[in-house]
């Protein structure tokens, strides 16, 4: 049996051996609690036939738990200083592969074809660096990768925004963008005490399960997302206000906007945060011809 990587003693021994210092710019916080790692992996519901894609493996603490429960793990690591460490810590797990690349610039689809061809069940499981959480999740969803879903640890406040419902203070364009592609749920809260170095905030684990079809059907997806951004531009303002300010020539076309709102059965005095995704979809289809 190999000693788990994610214990305070083993983590500190590994870091000391390699003289590793944390880079703030990379948002590095390593987990030192094996039970929490196992629970994260539980939420991914992997089998011996699954593959896991990890982002930012650090010294391999989560990678190790994924390797024990799946057919193959491919992890993207941007920090060159971690490569020799991972080579040592993951030596007992021949079913792991580290790719030294920034996942935001990587051809993830190409990697899946090359490394994970023939594996039907793919999950992304990651302890995401806080400063790039949203761009990474959006990239994975927008590129329409053949994944079942994503289980990731991120800042609790971002998790709250991702899984928020209409009419709440956390609900915004991020909630809609992610719930358009997935069913989003917060499955765990993780205290800051189980990381080194300790972050300033608590974390949460969210599970995003890919929908077979987007949550709503819209005529023009780009316009739909643009409309949502405009509707939340100034949260305190009414929908009508944001639309006339945000849409091209909106002030001149106020009548057209009012008519679209009426057709979509939406009161112009409401605020963007009260609209459900279905209402945004209806509005988007009514405004689309005039403004896209």
Could you list the residues known to form a binding site, using ranges.
29, 31, 56, 77, 102, 127
Report the C-alpha gap between 50 and 123 in whole angstroms: 8
Q: Which two tokens stand for residue 32?
A: 């030192």
Cis peptide leading into residue 75 (ω within 30°): no
H or E stretch at 61:
helix 61-69
- CA dist list (Å): 92 to 33, 38, 88: 20, 18, 8
In sequence order, which residues have a C-beta less than 8 Å from that of residue 279 and are 6 or more positions away?
264, 266
35-59: burial string, b at 16+ Cβ within 10 Å, e else: ebbeebbebbebeeebbbbbbbbbb
The whole-angstrom separation of Cα 285 and Cα 30 is 45
DSSP 211: P
In degrees and rounded to multiples of 5, residue 168 shows phi and psi of: -105, 160
Going by the annotation, the residues of the binding site for S-adenosyl-L-methionine are 29, 31, 56, 77, 102, 127
Cα separation, 18 vs 7, whole angstroms:
17
């Amino acid at each position: 049996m190999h000693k788990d990587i994610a214990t305070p003693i083993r983590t500190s021994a590994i870091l000391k051996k390699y003289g590793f210092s944390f880079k703030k710019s990379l948002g590095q916080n390593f987990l030192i609690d094996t039970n929490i790692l196992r629970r994260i992996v539980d939420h991914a519901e992997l089998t011996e036939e699954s593959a896991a894609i990890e982002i930012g493996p650090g010294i391999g603490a989560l990678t190790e738990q994924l390797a024990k429960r799946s057919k193959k793990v491919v992890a993207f690591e941007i920090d060159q200083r971690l490569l020799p460490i991972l080579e040592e810590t993951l030596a007992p797990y021949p079913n792991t592969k580290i790719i030294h690349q920034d996942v935001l610039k990587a051809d993830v689809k190409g990697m899946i074809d090359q490394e994970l061809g023939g594996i039907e069940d793919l999950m992304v499981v990651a302890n995401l660096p806080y400063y790039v959480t949203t761009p990474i999740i959006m990239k994975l969803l927008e590129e329409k990768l053949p994944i079942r879903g994503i289980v990731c640890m991120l800042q609790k406040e971002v998790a709250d925004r991702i899984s928020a419902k209409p009419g709440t203070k956390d609900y915004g364009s991020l909630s809609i963008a992610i719930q358009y592609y997935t069913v989003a749920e917060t499955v765990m809260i993780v205290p800051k005490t189980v990381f080194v170095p300790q972050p300033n905030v608590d974390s949460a684990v969210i599970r995003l399960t890919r929908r077979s079809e987007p949550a709503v059907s819209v005529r023009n997806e780009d316009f739909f997302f643009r409309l949502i951004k405009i509707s939340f531009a100034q949260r305190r303002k009414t929908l009508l206000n944001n639309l006339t300010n945000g849409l091209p020539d909106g002030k001149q076309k106020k009548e057209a906007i009012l008519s679209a709102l009426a057709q979509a059965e939406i009161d112009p005095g409401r605020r963007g945060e009260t609209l459900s995704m279905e209402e945004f979809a209806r509005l988007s289809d009514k405004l689309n011809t005039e403004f896209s």
